[in-house]
Amino acid sequence: MAAQPTRRERERQQHRREILAVALDLFSRKGFEKTAMADIAEQAEFAVGTLYKLFEDKNALYRALILDAVERFTQALTAVLTTPGSELERLARYIETKATLFAQNIPTARLYFAQTTGAGFLPTAGLDQEARAIYEKVLSMLEAVFRSGIRKKLIANIDPKMLVLGLEGLSNAFVFELIERPDDLPAETMADLSKTIFFERIHLKGN
Amino acid sequence: MAAQPTRRERERQQHRREILAVALDLFSRKGFEKTAMADIAEQAEFAVGTLYKLFEDKNALYRALILDAVERFTQALTAVLTTPGSELERLARYIETKATLFAQNIPTARLYFAQTTGAGFLPTAGLDQEARAIYEKVLSMLEAVFRSGIRKKLIANIDPKMLVLGLEGLSNAFVFELIERPDDLPAETMADLSKTIFFERIHLKGN
DNA sequence: TGACAAAGTGAACGGCTCTTCATAGATTAT
DNA sequence: ATAATCTATGAAGAGCCGTTCACTTTGTCA
């Protein structure tokens, strides 16, 4: 379809990617505010001015990173949710996918969380809007799965919005742990814990 | 015991409190980095220099706020955990207390979370250390309660550290919601949801 | 009342960071 | 080979912010 892009264009895109990679590294380790454009330029071996040839400004750099991450994660997660199988199976797979996905992309995961979880909290900027909108697609799909499970009497009759909130909170807690102390426990264990706590009862000896 | 403090001292402390109140307001709304000392001074109706007579520097202002908040919350929460009653009852009361406590102190709660949850994530500064240490006392008490519940076969035999992580993640998710959209649902509902999801089974039709 | 101390003030300083732009270099087209 | 176009450079501009300090005002006490 699209004609082979010119060498110039290919190199331009390559440089863009290199800069994004460095920015991801620095933002995820030091945070957005404490990363200076000069830091990124130095580590990427470009001059500051060059960054501004490829990105509008510092926010655009951040946004490119966030949007890419949120889109990739969202795509993978919605894919699992539309997979065949019972509602419970799909939810289980959602949890597993989330755990492995994040475990394999720790720097990206840090950025993702800084946006989605922290967002609304302390407004990180005006940057969240777009990213949050995308993330919310996942949440509404999750909600639909819960709703359908409730209709089929597979799942207790609790406001599905609240079930979403609960499942996200629970699984995020374990993903946080994964991100902060990656060697502590493998991703599967974390996924199993989320599933057990959420779907099995913790409290023995019936009511 | 201590002799009546002089009027000077009382007013000094009053001014200190006024400044702290303004700082809490601004930090919780705009975030630490984006709040300038000049902003605080203006809103508190003092000159910048006066802030520096009462606080070492900007960090000290933040730390005073955080430490006070974390200490108050921690005290209330440890109190409930050492209350008489079964492990399950104590955990239930912990959840309820947490919900009402935070619902009644929303600006403070925002700061608290920015420290405890977000901390370790993107290092907010070196400020967390002390606050985090205090918060971890609550976590280890929670862990002890779980451990004891497991010993008495009241609670499923899952690594208590993980149960703590899960319970915190779950209840924090609801507390977040409470903070972000206070009119959405009352604190008791949030507490009930945490308890139901954590202690009852979501998944019907036992396998 | 007058002198001493404490509290309050805000302009000025220095450091840091984002962003721009005139210049230099490289690549492509003629 | 030469002109034209695109890319890279980094010093300089401009603004913001934390902090200081010489000075003024207010309160205390003899």
Backbone angles phi, psi at A155, to 5 degrees: -130, 145
Residue A75 lies in a domain: yes
In angstroms, the CA of A122 and the C1' of D26 are apart by 40
How many domains does one find in chain B?
A: 2
Q: Are A195 and A122 a contacting pair, CB within 8 Å?
A: no
Interchain CB distance below 8 Å, A169 and B165: no
Of the residues A55, A75, A93, which one is the last residue of a structural domain? Answer: A55
pLDDT of residue B8: 86
pLDDT of A40-55, one tens digit each?
999 999 999 999 999 9
B100 plus B175 within the same structural domain? yes
| Residue B132: per-residue pLDDT | 86
**φ, ψ for residue B85 (rounded to 5)?**
125, 165
Of B9, B12, B42, B49, give the one whose Cα is nearest residue B25. B42
Residue carrying structure tokens 């954590």: B198
**Buried b vs exposed e over A23-58: b needs ≥16 C-beta within 10 Å?**
bbebbbeebbeebebeebbebbebeeeebeebbeeb
Distance of alpha carbon A101 from alpha carbon A95, whole angstroms: 10
**Model pLDDT, residue B178:** 86
What pLDDT, on the 0 to 100 scale, is given for residue A129? 78
Specify the nucleotide whose C1' lies closest to residue B49 (CA). C9
**Residues A98, A143: one domain?**
yes
> Residues in chain B with pLDDT < 50?
1-2, 207
* A157 Cα to chain B: minimum distance (Å): 8
Please tell me the distance in Å from B199's CA to the nearest CA on chain A: 5
> Does residue A13 have a pLDDT over 90?
yes
What's residue B121's pLDDT? 59
| pLDDT at res. A53 | 96
For residue A170, being part of any structural domain is answered with: yes
CA of residue A2 relative to chain centroid, distance:
31
**Footprint of strand C, using CB within 7 A?**
A 6-8, 34-38, 48-49, 52, 57-59; B 8-9, 11-12, 15, 45-50, 52-54
Could you give the C-alpha distances from B110 to B115, B174, B175, in angstroms and in order?
9, 13, 10
Flag whether pLDDT at A39 surpasses 60: yes
Q: pTM higher than 0.95, yes or no?
A: no
d(CA A15, CA A149): 47
Among A114, A163, A204, whose Cβ lies nearest the Cβ of B122? Answer: A114
| pLDDT tens digits, A126-173 | 567 788 899 999 999 999 999 999 999 999 999 999 999 999 999 999
* Closest-approach residue (CA) in chain A for B181: A120
Do residue B50 and residue B81 come from a single domain? no
Query: What pLDDT is recorded for position A111?
Result: 85
Please determine, for residue A8, whether its predicted confidence score (pLDDT) is greater than 90: no
Whether A1 has a pLDDT exceeding 60, the answer reads no
DSSP A150-169: HHTTSB----HHHHHHHHHH
Question: At A42, which CATH number?
Answer: 1.10.10.60
| pLDDT given for residue B48 in this prediction | 98
Same domain flag for A94 and A186: yes
Owner of token pair 């800069």: A19
Q: Integer distance in angstroms from the first to the last C-alpha of chain A?
A: 64
Looking at the structure, do residues B39 and B69 belong to the same domain, yes or no?
no
Residues B91 and B163 in one domain: yes
Helix (H/G/I), strand (E/B), else coil: A122 = coil
Tell whether B90 and B134 lie within a shared domain. Answer: yes
Whether A204 maps to a domain, the answer reads no
Same domain membership, residue A77 and residue A12: no
Q: Which of A55, A77, A95 is the last residue of a domain?
A: A55
Q: What is the pLDDT of residue A187?
A: 86
The domain that holds A107 is classified in CATH as 1.10.357.10
- Whether the CB-CB separation of A70 and A78 falls below 8 Å is answered with no
My answer on whether B33 and B102 are in the same domain is no
For residue A41, give its domain range: 1-55
Using the structure, give the distance in angstroms from the CA atom of B173 to the C1' atom of D24, rounded to a whole number.
53
pLDDT value for B6: 86
Chain B residues whose CB is inside 8 A of the A117 CB are: 117, 176
User: Within this chain, do residues A100 and A10 fall inside the same structural domain, yes or no?
Assistant: no
Q: Is B36 contained in some domain?
A: yes
3-state secondary structure B40-65: HHHHHCCCHHHHHHHCCCHHHHHHHH
Statement: residue A197 has pLDDT above 60: yes
Residues A58 and A37 sit within 8 Å (Cβ to Cβ): yes
Same domain, A101 and A33: no
Helix, strand, or coil (residue A203)? strand
The sign of the CA dihedral B77, B109, B196, B160 is negative
- Under the banding of pLDDT at 50, 70 and 90, the label for residue A186 is confident
Considering only the beta carbons, identify the residue of A156, A168, A169 that sits closest to B202.
A156
* Facing residue for B205 by CB, picked from A113, A154, A196: A154
CA gap A176, A74 in Å, rounded? 18
Q: Using the beta-carbon criterion (under 8 Å), do A170 and B166 form an inter-chain contact?
A: yes
Instruction: Specify the pLDDT at position A2.
Output: 46
Domain closes at, from A34, A55, A76: A55
pLDDT at B1: 42
- Residue B205 domain-assigned (yes or no): no
Compute how many other C-beta atoms are within 10 angstroms of the C-beta atom of residue A10.
11
A125 and A168 fall within a common domain: yes
Per the domain annotation, does B206 fall within a domain?
no
Whether A154 is in a domain gets the answer yes
Does residue A179 lie within any of the structural domains? yes
Q: List, in order, residues 6 or more apart from A2 with CB less than 8 Å away.
A: none
